[in-house]
């Protein structure tokens, strides 16, 4: 079992006002704008604990700190923030990332952390996810994160676009069967494609173009793409404030 502090969920809602109803409807009909962003976030699972703990290996120094574990699809972030930040003549403010994405070597990043002399609490938490850890969670997280990312990624937008276009084709084929005339004297009721048809077409094309753009950008400029959807990707500490 992976050691993990008690989890706390924190939801954040962003309210927008003054937008046309058409814009809101279009946003709702274009699925997954958040699906791109969550590929780069680090809070698919999150937990924290406040403890008195040894600060460095081979040292008797004890500090009071918040230790946070933030699990994302690309790896984990371990945060260590002192209470207060300045203790034992040091600034205790860390946010360390250990990647388990395919093509990345988690154990290597852990070894580099050892060489850099990271604080003991960070190394202790990171060690739980190493390949040879008795916890045995490394493979499970790597596989589940990979397929979760794959289904959320640009490829699903291409699939969504194709399915939406197919739905239009099915509807169009059925519509072209002969339909009886609806006449009122010399006048007849004429029908044509309505707003929902054109909205579905526009959304399908938009999903296709956006999905294609994301796939190409991921192939050519993956780091810049991460910055677009997660501005804190290349920043230092993301200040971690546990709930009251």
**Could you report the per-residue pLDDT of 174-192, keeping only the tens digit for each?**
766 666 777 787 887 777 7
Amino acid 8: pLDDT = 38
Query: In this structure, are residues 57 and 47 in contact, taking their beta carbons and an 8 Å threshold?
Result: no
Residues 164 and 147 in one domain: no
Q: Which two tokens stand for residue 110?
A: 């852990």
Asked if residue 192 and residue 89 are part of one domain, the reply reads no
Instruction: Tell me which residue of 196, 179, 197 sits closest to 188, measured CA to CA.
Output: 179
On the CB side of 135, how many CA atoms lie within 13 Å of its CA? Answer: 18
Burial class of residue 199 in the structure, from the number of CB atoms within 10 Å of its CB (0-12 exposed, 13-18 middle, 19+ buried)? middle
**pLDDT tens digits along 92-131:** 999 999 988 766 788 898 999 999 889 999 999 999 888 8
> Do 102 and 166 sit in the same domain of this protein?
no
Q: 33: closest CA among 201, 203, 234, 231?
A: 203
Q: Is residue 86 part of a domain?
A: yes
DSSP state of 56: S
Are 78 and 172 in a shared domain?
A: no
Residue 60 lies in a domain: yes
Three-state SS for 26? helix
Q: Is residue 28 part of a domain?
A: no
Q: How far apart are CA 195 and CA 179, in angstroms?
A: 21
Q: What is the pLDDT of residue 67?
A: 92
State whether 59 and 143 are in the same domain.
yes
Same domain? 170 vs 73 = no
For residues 158 and 103, state if they share a domain: no
Residue ranges, the chain, pLDDT below 50: 1-30, 231-244
pLDDT of residue 233: 45
- Work out how many domains the chain is built from and give that number: 2
Asked if the structure places residue 82 within a domain, the reply is yes
Q: Is residue 243 part of a domain?
A: no
Query: What's the pTM value of the predicted model, to 2 decimals?
Result: 0.60
94 and 237 Cβ atoms separated by less than 8 Å: yes
Residues 159 and 88 in one domain: no
Same domain, 134 and 104: yes
Q: Are residues 126 and 192 in the same domain?
A: no
For residues 118 and 159, state if they share a domain.
Answer: no
Q: How many CB atoms lie within 10 A of CB 122?
A: 20
59 and 132, same domain (yes or no): yes
Query: With contact defined as beta carbons under 8 Å apart, do 234 and 227 qualify?
Result: yes
pLDDT of residue 14: 35
Residue span of the structural domain in which 113 resides = 34-151
Structural contact between residues 64 and 51, judged by C-beta atoms closer than 8 angstroms = yes
């Amino acid at each position: 079992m992976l050691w993990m502090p008690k989890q706390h969920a924190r939801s954040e809602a962003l309210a927008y006002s003054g937008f046309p109803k058409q814009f809101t409807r279009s946003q709702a009909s274009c699925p997954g704008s958040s699906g791109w962003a969550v590929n780069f976030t680090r809070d698919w699972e999150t937990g924290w604990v406040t403890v008195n703990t040894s600060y460095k290996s081979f040292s008797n120094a004890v500090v009071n700190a918040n230790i946070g574990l933030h699990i994302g699809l690309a790896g984990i972030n371990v945060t260590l923030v002192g209470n207060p930040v300045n203790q034992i003549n040091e600034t205790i403010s860390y946010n360390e990332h250990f990647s388990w994405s395919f093509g990345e070597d988690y154990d290597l990043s852990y070894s580099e952390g050892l060489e850099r002399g990271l604080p003991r609490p960070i190394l202790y938490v990171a060690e739980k996810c190493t390949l040879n850890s008795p916890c045995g969670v490394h493979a499970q997280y790597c596989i589940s994160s990979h397929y979760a990312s794959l289904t959320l990624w640009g490829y699903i937008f291409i699939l969504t676009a194709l399915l939406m276009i197919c739905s239009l084709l099915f509807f169009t084929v059925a519509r072209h069967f002969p339909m009886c005339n609806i006449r009122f004297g010399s006048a007849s009721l004429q029908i044509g494609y309505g707003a929902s048809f054109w909205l579905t077409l526009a959304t399908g094309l938009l999903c296709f173009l956006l999905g294609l753009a994301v796939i190409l950008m991921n192939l050519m400029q993956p780091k810049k793409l991460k910055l677009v959807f997660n501005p804190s990707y290349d920043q230092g500490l993301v200040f971690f404030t546990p709930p009251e």
